[in-house]
Structure 1
Amino acid sequence: MGSFLELQTRNKNYGKILHITDTHLFAEDSGSLLGINSNASFLAVIDDIKKGDRQYDLIVATGDFVQDGSKKAYARFAEQINKFNTPCVWLAGNHDNYAHMQEVFANYQLVDNKIVLLGDNWLAILLNSQVIGQAYGFLHESELEFLHNALTEHSHRYALIFLHHHPINSGCHWLDHHILKNYEQLEKVIQKHPNVRGLGWGHIHQKQDYVWHKCKAFSTPSTCFQFKPECYDFQLSSDDAPGWREITLNTNGTIDSEVYRLKNNRFLPDISQNGY
């Protein structure tokens, strides 16, 4: 199965994960996307999280780290994440340059492990759904085989799976053109493995929660702009602030999670935009 990261949890009764996604950073401080300075909103999110003074066992970052493809922007992300002094694992989104990610994150000790053994009871698996040059996602046969093998080898552990693209329709017609195209294949693997208890993703810049094949499935808000829910065409939300998700993995196989958002939000998008 290749290398994996093995971590002990701070509390014997549960593990805590911080889920961050879709930061869309720039090399320059002045970089702006859809009316929001995404570097500034990311820093505000990091500051809010640190003010909460919570302790995490693992940070999972699920793609679209940068908007301009620059190594400097990836370094911005890594510098802030390293302030938590907590292991961070990551995967690529449709906007990411994978080679730049690997090079920069390695310099900051952000590990490239796609399997994490967390405490005595849990397993986190990260999947690569990136299709270079496309906004939609796809899990190649090698990724599906990797998932099946990991779940089989660690069948005594409860499993939480992460990817970038959404495998469940979001309710936004325009966004669902950019779904995980072969989500049925992912479903088949999950249905074969009852130890799968959770599935998380980013990409859709929205908070959504489901029960999918008896496991908890959820999307996490972006740290910058949010897409307006239940829209046929592209629309931005002026109501939903940048956010993050905290996940608790209980020893009995259940998952608790909660989304947090910036308070007194000053990061308002330009809602006149019709795409990016």
Structure 2
Amino acid sequence: MAWFDDIYYFEQTTLRIAHLTDCHLFSDKDAEYFGVNTAEHFVKALADIAKQQPDALIFGGDLTQDHSFNSYLLFAELIHNSEVDCPVFWVPGNHDEIEQLNLISGGQIQHAKHIVAQGIELILINSKGNTPAGWVSATHLDEIMACLVDSNNRHIAFCHHNPLPINGYLDKHMLENGPQLLNLLVNNGRVDALFHGHVHNDYQQQFRGLNVYATPASCVQFSKHSATWQQENKGAAYRMLYLNAEQQQVHIHSDVVWLNE
């Protein structure tokens, strides 16, 4: 099955989307990543997201830290035990294996990478490369183009890796052909924003008028504008998106939610 063949449909013209990313779970619920209990932070984020009553939750990648299949099972367990009752979609991060993500998908956790509402479409892009840095293959770029040209709706894109430098340590692992992807999105003329994770903090940038947003990790944050890898525990975090389509336009309102301890 091609990446965008499975489509999930909504009937409304407005969408409330939770973007939750970089939970870095272990097989052990009590394990810590840079001094942070990642499962505990993930549970706190899910509990707060449930209060927002989103139409969908998009997980932005880096589910696992120890690369064990039990960490994927823990992800599914924590979602199913939460009060979140909307469908959950995902893109792969550099730590993740797509095959493992597919194994936990079914029911609430969805395989679909193309979400279609009235006047709005969300496309979930695979930026996983052969190294910690990201890469969107030529074949996948063609799939993205075909998905975009097939509809006159406005589009919002999601991927894991940052396509633009953030002037920080993680730039060594950014999306290596980010400008190629961004130019494709801009040249299409119907893409309004791209959201990503990976950089463990919140950023807002622009590329040829396209808004590019980074959502902070649900676990530990990486200090901004640091040439070295510095961590800080700012509490669990996620982003809410409020999308409204009218007269062939999409109005986007986005807020980062910090759950400071």
TM score, norm. by length of structure 1: 0.87
What stretches of structure 2 of length at least 5 have no aligned partner? none
> Is 2:140 the partner of 1:143?
yes
Q: Which residue of structure 2 aligns with residue 220 of structure 1?
A: 215
| Residue 254 of structure 1: how far off its partner (Å) | 2.1
Q: Secondary structure at the match of 1:84?
A: coil
Aligned position for 2:228 = 233
Q: In structure 2, what is the equivalent of residue 37 of structure 1?
A: 37
1:116 is matched with which residue?
115
Q: In 2, distance between residues paired with 1:222 and 1:23? A: 6
What percentage of residue pairs aligned between the two structures are identical?
Answer: 27
Mapped to 2, the partners of 1:87 and 1:8 lie a distance apart of 14
Question: After TM superposition, where is structure 1 displaced by more than 4 Å over at least 4 residues in a row?
Answer: none
Shift of 1:79: 2.8
Residue aligned with 1:42, SS = helix
After the TM superposition, which residues 118-267 of structure 1 pair with which residues of structure 2 at under 5 Å, given as runs? 118=117, 120-132=118-130, 134-154=131-151, 156-172=152-168, 174-238=169-233, 240-251=234-245, 252-263=249-260, 265=261
Secondary structure at the aligned position of 1:105 is classed as coil
Structure 1 residues 38-69: Cα deviation after superposition (integer angstroms, max 9, x where no partner): 1111112222333xx22211111111011122
SS in 2 for 1:151: helix
Structure 2 distance, partners of 1:236, 1:30, is 19
Q: Is the 8 A contact 2:6 2:111 kept in 1?
A: no
- Relative to structure 1, the CA distance from residue 244 to residue 98 in structure 2 (aligned partners, 3 Å threshold; closer, same or farther) is same
For 2:89 and 2:207, locate their aligned partners in 1 and report how far apart those are by CA, in whole Å.
24
Provide the TM-score with structure 2 as the length reference.
0.92
Q: Distance in 2 between matches of 1:98 and 1:148?
A: 22
* Structure 2: distance between partners of 1:211 and 1:187: 10
Gaps of 5+ in 1: 266-276
Distance 1:65 1:180 in 2: 18
Q: Could you tell me whether the CA contact under 8 Å between 1:138 and 1:180 is conserved in 2? A: yes
1:5 to 4, 8, 19: 8
2-side partners of 1:16 and 1:215: how far apart?
Answer: 21
The equivalent of 2:22 in structure 1 is: 22
| Contact kept? 1:60, 1:90, Cα under 8 Å | yes
Q: Distance in 2 between matches of 1:48 and 1:90?
A: 19
Provide the C-alpha distance between the structure 1 equivalents of 2:188 and 2:259, rounded to a whole number of angstroms.
37
The aligned runs of 1:56-135 (5 Å cut-off) are 56-82=54-80, 83-106=83-106, 108-118=107-117, 120-132=118-130, 134-135=131-132
CA distance in 1, matches of 2:5, 2:47: 35
Equivalent residues of 1:71, 1:104 under 8 A apart: no
Cα distance, 1:109 vs. partner? 4.1
3-state secondary structure, aligned to 1:253 = strand
Instruction: Give the letter for the 1:8 counterpart.
Output: E
Report how many aligned residue pairs link the two structures: 253
- Residues 41 and 235, structure 2, Cα contact 8 Å, conserved in 1: no
Kept in 2, the 8 Å contact 1:161–1:200? The answer is yes
Asked if the contact 2:86/2:108 (under 8 Å) is kept, the reply is no
Query: Aligned partners of 2:208 and 2:244: how far apart in 1?
Result: 19
Structure having the larger proportion of residues in strand? 2
